[in-house]
Amino acid sequence: MSLEESFAKLCVEPQSDATVVKALVFKPKTPKSATPVPIVVVALLSTTTPSPLIASATSTKDPRLARDDLFKDVFNCSTAKEFHLGHLAQANSEFKLLVDDKLSKLAGSTICNVNQKFLQQEQLSDYLEQFSPEVVDFSQELPSKETKKPAPVAAAKSAALEDAKLIGITVDKALDFSGWYQQILTKGEMLDYYDVSGCYILRPASYAIWEVIQRWFDDRIKSLGVQNAYFPMFVSSRVLEKEKDHIEGFAPEVAWVTRAGSSELEEPIAIRPTSETVMYPYYAKWVQSYRDLPIKLNQWNSVVRWEFKHPQPFLRTREFLWQEGHTAHLAEEDAKEEVLQILDFYAGVYEELLAVPVVKGRKTEKEKFAGGDFTTTCEGYIPQTGRGIQGATSHHLGQNFSKMFNISVENPQGPEFPKVFAYQNSWGLSTRVIGVMVMIHSDNKGLVIPPRVSQYQCVVLPVGITAKTSDEQRIAIHQAAKKVEDRLHTAKIRVFGDYNDNYTPGWKFAQYELKGVPLRIELGPKDMSNEQVTVVRRNDSRKYTVKLNELETRIPEILEEMQKDLFLKAKELFDTHRKIVNEWKDFVPSLNKKNVILSPWCGVMECEEDIKDSSAKKDNGEEFEADDKSPSMGAKSLCIPFEQPELKEGQKCVKCDRPAIQYCMFGRSY
Amino acid sequence: MSLEESFAKLCVEPQSDATVVKALVFKPKTPKSATPVPIVVVALLSTTTPSPLIASATSTKDPRLARDDLFKDVFNCSTAKEFHLGHLAQANSEFKLLVDDKLSKLAGSTICNVNQKFLQQEQLSDYLEQFSPEVVDFSQELPSKETKKPAPVAAAKSAALEDAKLIGITVDKALDFSGWYQQILTKGEMLDYYDVSGCYILRPASYAIWEVIQRWFDDRIKSLGVQNAYFPMFVSSRVLEKEKDHIEGFAPEVAWVTRAGSSELEEPIAIRPTSETVMYPYYAKWVQSYRDLPIKLNQWNSVVRWEFKHPQPFLRTREFLWQEGHTAHLAEEDAKEEVLQILDFYAGVYEELLAVPVVKGRKTEKEKFAGGDFTTTCEGYIPQTGRGIQGATSHHLGQNFSKMFNISVENPQGPEFPKVFAYQNSWGLSTRVIGVMVMIHSDNKGLVIPPRVSQYQCVVLPVGITAKTSDEQRIAIHQAAKKVEDRLHTAKIRVFGDYNDNYTPGWKFAQYELKGVPLRIELGPKDMSNEQVTVVRRNDSRKYTVKLNELETRIPEILEEMQKDLFLKAKELFDTHRKIVNEWKDFVPSLNKKNVILSPWCGVMECEEDIKDSSAKKDNGEEFEADDKSPSMGAKSLCIPFEQPELKEGQKCVKCDRPAIQYCMFGRSY
């Protein structure tokens, strides 16, 4: 029996007092190359369904009533006029469903579809439920276009169906990446928007990831002799402005405290954008002899950079959490060795914990940390936008700051030799890493979180309980499931069970997929009699059957396999989108195919600027996403990778006539 | 041979070109009841030694040239005129020694004491070394009286003798508690003063203690189902001011950001003084059904309270680190149970980790958290000042905030019942705990840190190496010591070794005593042949001999014994200074004897204020320390202890005629 037939079976006799319902189909505006996902709106005939509200609820642009060809293509229905709800069951591609919240308030009524199919309200609701509807309050105010905050994800109000708020992601990652990113973070309960623009709430699901990263990184830097400390968040303007090159980079973004209670402060006080100038006057004080070196301090704190560009959760926020390490060494080579050790740890956070591949390298003079000698970096890649993203940076400051702040010691060779200024490093990794991880692994069902960092690694669910299940049997299944949970807990797996009978397993599956729990462990009557559980991976729904007596060995293995597979998949995407381009004519076309580019380069700053300008035009008229900082963004240098393609004899720069001295990685970027 | 005789032996033949040195003795001003510690200044005859510099270097008040009676009492020397450096060796009580830094620059010269004793400079230095001299640059500028920052501890400049800065505390805990507290924190390298007033740098030695506390407390709250999160540090004025009672308490101390870069913000933004109003609007949003309760979040962050009172490291700082937990419950009894569980954890931080005894109880209406229903607290006691100190508080907010922010759910009994507002708690513990710990255990030699929280628990030192020791033997001792270190490290003891031959063991002993390392493990030739180490406890210099084959079992035992003994000693001091006073006539006299007081009390707020006013007078004319907030500070209510003395039938309030309803603990306080 087809779904449409089953729909037909639901229909009842025509009734004169039936409430009439309309079913409208919209097509959103999408880039030419993309396939639009239709939006079906089911609402009372009396309800107005304004296009901006539909756009907001689905995070799409300009939805318009669909033409007949779409009805044909998607619903096997020859014209818009013939379309009725039964057609939903035979759709041959994806669509989104919005349901008027007034519909849910008609319990007990008969509903009349515009095409004269009559149903009971409950049956209609049940029928629609399979298409993961989003319930929308169409009577709400239209979102204002002037609103400065990102469009609220939950323009769709969920009051009517109590659990509708938990129903999945309504935006396609491939079509509206920025809308998808917003939804996935908020519906996945990682983050919430906050009433101060550019600031976000890190909810337990994301903070727990940060805690795993903290523990991992902290253990490693402590093994290098780094100690944690805490310096004040405030810095006087005199100290802040001491290193000129450095402050020039930060000055436009510094937040100033000018008032306390009702008193104006005598002198405004800055909130640290980073702590070089906060810490180094004290390094100068504490370092009296070469025996006081090296000094290696790190702090886990938050810093404030009041950027005026469009903020984005995790990636560009006005306050963010990070660690900042600041070390001072007697010997230049010790400092330089450390810079790379730390960079390896940063790459480890990405690759080993977050399953995100990165390319390590050095920043160009243009892109390096202001005031330092050189900056090393690990760079990631976001496939959907084809943009590079700076992962974390480790700077060698040379003696620039130590000379400015007089961090110096008597020469160990004796007082007749000149005094030695310390060689310094600073290095930082922020909660940005979580945003990169989400962008790379998650999908249209919700978050996908790598097992090593996920707050919970497994959820245990009793399944197969129906109306026919005896109480005894139900209890036995629950108890067996709880035992699985307890055993995994004892085996140090981060696990929880959900034994709530008020929700169907299907609803729960969707919920934990949304939240990105790596493994779902199902236990039903069949599993019980076979002494097994059924395990489903979040990332690809791959199923495993695990015998109960192998629980403690197999689950960790499956978690590690998933971790590895996530990394390999992401790595393949990065590797296949990192193109060697030797001639300028191929540069922009390759960039426009969402690649980052490795090109032979002369190393001259003006040429780098020229590359950026020349790649900024909309060369092929392609539309960019709404979240681009600029729709015509040019390619920046991302890094000069440590791992270099071989440079041919006499190879010229990709852009100018000068000889190339190395390959540089260029890309549009965050 | 007495020390004076040995001094005589050092003397050489009179020489006409000798540099003349003077030895002056000063007596600082102290409270009448205290015994002054004399200050001996050894300087070139040509050096002026201004009294304010001596005061600053020793953290004393108004040092004046001593009269003959002091020479008699302290140095067994009949008059000031007869006094020479040899008398130092026969002092029968403590004194402080300041040495002119010019003296150290006279290597090779002959020195002539004013009493015609001639010595070589090196011998004089060696001789003075035994009295732990502080080297002072008397040519430095006088500290300005107008300086707003606390007097710099290191007015004594240490450039001349490279390691003089590490030489001990120069202020007596019993005589100048506040000067001692400053020195102990800075010289012990726990903390440094910062150029923004009221802000301090937490150096690794103190931050490591905080990390131990974090781990301990975090594990426990997680076992209650609390999750960590991070909310922004900024809060809009609209949200901040939502709960009126609450904001009234904080408004005068709120720091406001009004400018970013060069742009004035449209609306000033506050830095959180605490996060109730930051978090609760989101609790209201997230809590849609009773199934969303309880919600239990905690954050480790910093908050800002721009107090205008005299700041004090750890105890009253404008930015401080803390944790703040915020929970919302469906049932009142669950919330109330949690408030007490958390209070027990706080008491555990003090008693189990920091070896600081506390009294648990409830705050009076006057002293409770503004906007909450009731506040529970653990209260400590500082013996030297006789003042109570609030340790940490756990508040039951009732439904006050949930009604204000609409944190409510439909009644689980059904929609016909009224909706339920959540019952909330908030609770916080700050880095103040470290200040309390330092005040209680540390002494005139430096910090004393309880083993469970100390960054390092043991230092291993090779000893007994003299000029006669063969290279082979020296290497063997070093290797054996290193092996001890490695074995303890493997046994998870936080240990380090100091194998630097440039310092004498005596100098190292002083250094690690200053820093408060709990155990010193010495290994010398005799220890080697006996296959043992000598272990010395920091708190009381108690010595243990530990056989090498018992290292891994005995050292942890000795550490635990020390932990216990620190607690018992502090507990005895608190217990013997907590007096039951039933009659008002005994109240102030007992208070003035540095007690906190348990008195029967009526519970009326006006009476509480009367007690404070009436105990505020300088009843006995006694001098108070300079660090008192007010020299005539009255007694506040500290808490109504959970553990109550039995109230007699018809017992009246200690202050007024009303009947007493309970015992309340009163005291001068921080």
pLDDT per residue as tens digits for the range B202-256: 999 999 999 999 999 999 999 999 999 999 999 998 888 887 777 888 889 999 9
Instruction: Please determine, for residue A283, whether its predicted confidence score (pLDDT) is greater than 80.
Output: yes
Give SS3 for A39. strand
* Cβ–Cβ < 8 Å for B353, B346: no
**Residue A124 has what pLDDT?**
81
The DSSP secondary structure of A40-67, one letter per residue, reads: EEEEETT----HHHHHHHHT-EEEEEPP
**Residue A157 has what pLDDT?**
34
Is A160 an interface residue toward B (CB < 8 Å)?
Answer: no
Min Cα–Cα distance to chain A from B457, Å? 16
* Cβ–Cβ < 8 Å for A538, A513: yes
Q: Which residues of B touch A235 (CB under 8 A)?
A: 196
Give SS3 for B148. coil
H, E, C per residue of B560-589:
HHHHHHHHHHHHHHHHHCEEECCCHHHHHH
Dist. CA A544–CA A534, nearest whole Å? 6
Residue of A435, A454, A513, A518 whose CA lies nearest to A208: A454
Instruction: Please determine, for residue B165, whether its predicted confidence score (pLDDT) is greater than 70.
Output: no
Is B665 an interface residue toward A (CB < 8 Å)?
Answer: no
* Cβ–Cβ < 8 Å for A499, A459: no
The DSSP secondary structure of B574-635, one letter per residue, reads: HHHTEEE--SHHHHHHHHHTT-EEEEEE---HHHHHHHHHHT-S-TT-----TT-SSTTPPP
Residue type, B363: K
Q: Which residues of B touch A186 (CB under 8 A)?
A: none
> Best residue in B207, B264, B265 to probe A by mutation, most A CBs within 10 Å?
B207
- Residue A135's alpha-carbon distances to A59, A63, A170, B177, in angstroms, are 14, 17, 11, 67
| CB within 8 Å: B258 and A258 | yes
- Residue A425's alpha-carbon distances to A221, A278, A402, A408, in angstroms, are 14, 15, 11, 15
Q: How far is CA B345 from the centre of its chain?
A: 21
User: At what angle are helices B584-592 and B605-614 packed, to 10 degrees?
Assistant: 50
Min Cα–Cα distance to chain A from B620, Å? 38
pLDDT digits (tens, 9 = 90+) for B364-419: 999 999 889 999 999 999 999 999 999 999 999 999 999 999 999 999 888 899 99
Angle ∠(A13,A19,A25) on CA atoms, nearest 5: 100
Residue of A136, A368, A122 whose CA lies nearest to A245: A368
| CB within 8 Å: A192 and B234 | no
Q: Is B597 exposed, middle or buried (0-12, 13-18, 19+ CB in 10 A)?
A: buried
Nearest C-alpha in B relative to A235: B196
Instruction: Please determine, for residue B145, whether its predicted confidence score (pLDDT) is greater than 50.
Output: no
**Residue A15 has what pLDDT?**
65
**Residue A149 has what pLDDT?**
37
B45 contact partners, CB below 8 Å, separation of at least 6: B19, B20, B21, B22, B114
Beta bridge partners of A501: none
* Residue B311 in tokens: 């700041």
Q: Which residues of A touch B232 (CB under 8 A)?
A: 194, 196, 199-201, 319
Is B268 an interface residue toward A (CB < 8 Å)?
Answer: yes
Min Cα–Cα distance to chain A from B630, Å? 22
Say what percent of chain B tops pLDDT 90.
66
User: At what angle are helices A551-576 and A432-441 packed, to 10 degrees?
Assistant: 90
H, E, C per residue of B312-358:
ECCCECCEEEEEEEEEEECCHHHHHHHHHHHHHHHHHHHHHHCCCCC
**Residue B113 has what pLDDT?**
66
Instruction: Please determine, for residue B502, whether its predicted confidence score (pLDDT) is greater than 70.
Output: yes
Residue of A457, A504, A478, A452 whose CA lies nearest to A166: A504
**Residue A625 has what pLDDT?**
39
Residue type, B490: T
Interface of B with A in 291-330 (CB under 8 A): 291, 297, 301-302, 304, 306, 308, 318-319, 321
Highest mean pLDDT range out of A20-34, A638-652, B54-68, B110-124? A638-652
Pairing mode of beta strands B263-271, B255-260:
antiparallel
Nearest C-alpha in A relative to B295: A204
**Residue B496 has what pLDDT?**
97
Instruction: Please determine, for residue A7, whether its predicted confidence score (pLDDT) is greater than 80.
Output: no
- Residue A34's alpha-carbon distances to A31, A37, A56, A457, in angstroms, are 5, 9, 20, 35
Dist. CA B439–CA B354, nearest whole Å? 11
| CB within 8 Å: A306 and B255 | no
Q: How far is CA B241 from the centre of its chain?
A: 35
β strands within B446-498, DSSP E: 458-462, 495-497
Instruction: Please determine, for residue B155, whether its predicted confidence score (pLDDT) is greater than 60.
Output: no
Return the residue matching tokens 């983050």.
A191
B35 contact partners, CB below 8 Å, separation of at least 6: B93
| CB within 8 Å: A195 and B262 | no
Instruction: Please determine, for residue B305, whether its predicted confidence score (pLDDT) is greater than 60.
Output: yes
Beta bridge partners of A228: A298
| CB within 8 Å: A289 and B162 | yes
Q: How far is CA A251 from the centre of its chain?
A: 28
Is 0.85 exceeded by the ipTM?
no
Dist. CA A304–CA A585, nearest whole Å? 41
Is B624 an interface residue toward A (CB < 8 Å)?
Answer: no
Pairing mode of beta strands A519-523, A458-462:
parallel
Q: Give the pLDDT mean for A382-388.
A: 95
**Residue B123 has what pLDDT?**
79
Is B107 an interface residue toward A (CB < 8 Å)?
Answer: no
In which band, very low, low, confident or very high, does the pLDDT at B16 lie, cut at 50, 70 and 90? low
H runs (alpha helix) in B349-470: 400-405, 432-441
Dist. CA A520–CA A153, nearest whole Å? 27
Is A476 an interface residue toward B (CB < 8 Å)?
Answer: no
Instruction: Please determine, for residue A497, whether its predicted confidence score (pLDDT) is greater than 50.
Output: yes
Q: Give the pLDDT mean for A161-172.
A: 58
**Residue B70 has what pLDDT?**
85
pLDDT digits (tens, 9 = 90+) for B249-299: 888 999 999 999 999 999 999 999 999 999 999 999 999 999 999 999 999
Half-sphere exposure of A512 (CA within 13 A, CB side): 28
Instruction: Please determine, for residue A241, whether its predicted confidence score (pLDDT) is greater than 60.
Output: yes
| CB within 8 Å: A261 and B251 | yes
Question: Which helix (H) or strand (E) covers residue A319, if one does?
Answer: strand A319-329
Question: Which helix (H) or strand (E) covers residue A192, if one does?
Answer: strand A191-193
Is A214 an interface residue toward B (CB < 8 Å)?
Answer: no
* Cβ–Cβ < 8 Å for B622, B632: no
> Best residue in A187, A195, A263 to probe B by mutation, most B CBs within 10 Å?
A195
Instruction: Please determine, for residue B657, whether its predicted confidence score (pLDDT) is greater than 90.
Output: no
**What is the average pLDDT score of chain B?**
88
* Cβ–Cβ < 8 Å for B456, B496: yes
- Residue B324's alpha-carbon distances to A147, B13, B272, in angstroms, are 32, 71, 12
For each of the domains in chain A, give its residue range(s) and CATH number, in order of start: 3-136 (3.90.960.10), 191-233+272-441 (3.30.930.10), 458-561 (3.40.50.800), 581-667 (3.30.110.30)
| CB within 8 Å: B236 and A199 | no
Min Cα–Cα distance to chain B from A262, Å? 7
Instruction: Please determine, for residue A515, whether its predicted confidence score (pLDDT) is greater than 90.
Output: yes
Half-sphere exposure of A460 (CA within 13 A, CB side): 25
Residue type, B581: V
Q: Which residues of B touch A192 (CB under 8 A)?
A: 282, 285-286
Q: Give the pLDDT mean for B610-616.
A: 92
Is B589 an interface residue toward A (CB < 8 Å)?
Answer: no
Dist. CA B275–CA B234, nearest whole Å? 10
pLDDT digits (tens, 9 = 90+) for A412-448: 888 899 999 999 999 999 999 999 999 999 999 999 9
Say what percent of chain A tops pLDDT 90.
66
CB atoms within 10 A of CB A578: 18
Beta bridge partners of B601: B662
Instruction: Please determine, for residue B164, whether its predicted confidence score (pLDDT) is greater than 50.
Output: no
Of the given ranges (A51-65, A103-117, B16-30, B194-208), which has the lowest mean pLDDT? A103-117
**Residue B346 has what pLDDT?**
98
pLDDT digits (tens, 9 = 90+) for B426-472: 999 999 999 999 999 999 999 999 999 999 999 999 999 988 999 99
* Cβ–Cβ < 8 Å for A596, A667: yes
Dist. CA B274–CA A336, nearest whole Å? 42
Q: Across the interface, which of A207, A229, A253 has its CB nearest the CB of B229? A: A207
Chain A with chain B: Cβ pairs closer than 8 A? 151
pLDDT digits (tens, 9 = 90+) for A301-333: 999 999 888 899 999 999 999 999 999 999 999
- Residue A610's alpha-carbon distances to A361, A584, B304, B644, in angstroms, are 22, 12, 46, 80
Nearest C-alpha in B relative to A234: B196
Q: Which residues of A touch B282 (CB under 8 A)?
A: 192, 201
**Residue A507 has what pLDDT?**
92
> Best residue in B162, B187, B195, B263 to probe A by mutation, most A CBs within 10 Å?
B195
**Residue A619 has what pLDDT?**
40
| CB within 8 Å: B319 and A233 | yes
| CB within 8 Å: A282 and B201 | yes
* Residue A204 in tokens: 């337990």
CB atoms within 10 A of CB B50: 11
pLDDT digits (tens, 9 = 90+) for B546-595: 999 999 999 999 999 999 999 999 999 999 999 999 999 999 999 999 99
Q: Give the pLDDT mean for A640-666.
A: 95
* Residue A83 in tokens: 């379309």
CB atoms within 10 A of CB A511: 18
Instruction: Please determine, for residue A151, whether its predicted confidence score (pLDDT) is greater than 60.
Output: no
